[in-house]
Amino acid sequence: MATANHNTGNLEQKIIEAARETFLNRGYSETSMSDIAVRAGINRPTLHYYFRTKERMFGAVFGSIVGALVPRVKDIILRSDIPIGKRVQLVIDAYYEVFKENPRLPLFIVKEIDRDYDNVVRTARELGLQTYMDSIRKGLQDEMDSGKLRQVPMRYLFMTFYSMLIIPFATCNLCNNLFVAEGECFDDMLAEWKAYIVSAVERTLTI
């Protein structure tokens, strides 16, 4: 049994968790080391003991924040037994699940792409995102070549998909205010919108 004072690795995990939540909710620039320290229930110097600088601290958690997305989506995309159309729908479901747990994740990523794009690229490489993208690309291209799907430039398919997926979450204040009807809540609208994305992508791919 460990002594009460020394919680080796335990506190580090606590700090990481506090940093993860604070950075995710406020973004890098709006987060101070004090914010994280308060959330972790310790003081700033201890933070610097574990992660020397703010930038290192951020680096330590950024991967795990973005990484929350990957496993769920990965499992679906690699299921080549499922037709690609159905897979696209399942991918949206997976993203939606994660974003409902972490509604601020989409805006967080968009801001980071702007703030420190090199780190985003590095993280994407570590997570092996290229593999998944290639897999989707290949799956779609095969069905396009065999005539099952309409020939659509791959990049515009991706851009359409991610545009429609991200914007309602990234601008939820505005969307909630402008586009949620009376007697309806934001989640109701989001659910309808999900179906709309699927139908839009399907229409693009089949007509």
| Binders in 154-183 for its own copies, by CB under 8 A | 155-156, 158-160, 162-164, 166-168, 170-171, 173-175, 177-179
| Binders in 53-82 for DNA, by CB under 7 A | 53-55
Binding of residue 16 to DNA (CB under 7 A): no
For residue 180, report the phi and psi dihedrals to the nearest 5 degrees: -95, 120
Binding of residue 137 to DNA (CB under 7 A): no
The listed partner (DNA, its own copies, none) that binds 48, CB under 5 to 8 Å by sort, is: DNA
Q: What are the start-end ranges of the E strands in 23-179?
A: none
| Binders in 48-107 for its own copies, by CB under 8 A | 107
- Other beta carbons within 10 angstroms of residue 199's beta carbon come to 11
CB closer to DNA, 41 vs 67 = 41
Please pick, from the candidates 32, 130, 151, 206, the single residue that binds DNA as defined by CB under 7 A.
Answer: 32
Q: With contacts defined by CB under 7 A, how many residues of the chain interact with DNA? A: 24
Q: Are 166 and 106 in contact (CB under 8 A)?
A: yes
Give the rounded distance of the alpha carbon of 24 from its chain centre. Answer: 10
Q: Are 53 and 133 in contact (CB under 8 A)?
A: no
Instruction: Quote the crossing angle between the two packed helices 154-170 and 105-115, to the nearest 10°.
Output: 120
Q: Residue 17 corresponds to which tokens in the numbers above?
A: 């968790």
Binding of residue 6 to DNA (CB under 7 A): yes
Residues at the interface with DNA (CB under 7 A): 5-8, 10-12, 31-35, 42-46, 48-50, 52-55
